[in-house]
Amino acid sequence: MVKVVMRLPTSDAKKRTKALQTASGFPGVVSVSLDRDRLIVVGEGIDSVTLIVVLRKKMDPVGVELLSVGPYWKDDDEITWSPPPPVSYNYAYQTPAQPYYHPYPYKERSDEQENCSIM
């Protein structure tokens, strides 16, 4: 993908519309946008010299200037940074083991005395 940036120093809305229509009709163009006085054309296999010549014929021959031609990455326009979404970890806590109850031996005491109290 190639990004071509041109300057259109006209304030006439008709001429800007005409430049947008001409650039968008060019073969290989993916997107066309206006930023103040700049026309930004993005596409595959665009001949920037032919595009400038065609725009100069349709518009003011002196006004259209080629500012830059270079590779285009989709991240060029998206400079804003957004934090990644928070990661939630699912913890599966084990239930603690219940203590085992050892019952103490239980004997009933009776108040009744049996045969001999000495023994």
Q: Could you say which DSSP state residue 87 is in?
A: P
Nearest to 56 by CA among 15, 94, 93: 15
* Six token digits for residue 113: 């005395």
- The whole-number average pLDDT for the span 22-31 is 90
**Residue 118 pLDDT grade (very low, low, confident, very high; cuts 50, 70, 90):** low
Name the residue ranges covered by the structural domains of the chain. 2-71
Angle between the N-to-C axes of helices 48-58 and 13-24, in degrees from 0 to 180, rounded to the nearest 10: 140
CB 6 within 8 A of CB 41: yes
Across the chain, mean pLDDT equals 81
Please give the residue that has the higher pLDDT: either 82 or 43.
43
Q: What is the pLDDT of residues 55-101, one digit of tens each?
A: 888 887 778 889 999 988 776 555 566 777 888 777 777 777 777 77
Longest dimension (CA), the chain: 136
User: What is the CATH class of 2-71?
Assistant: alpha beta
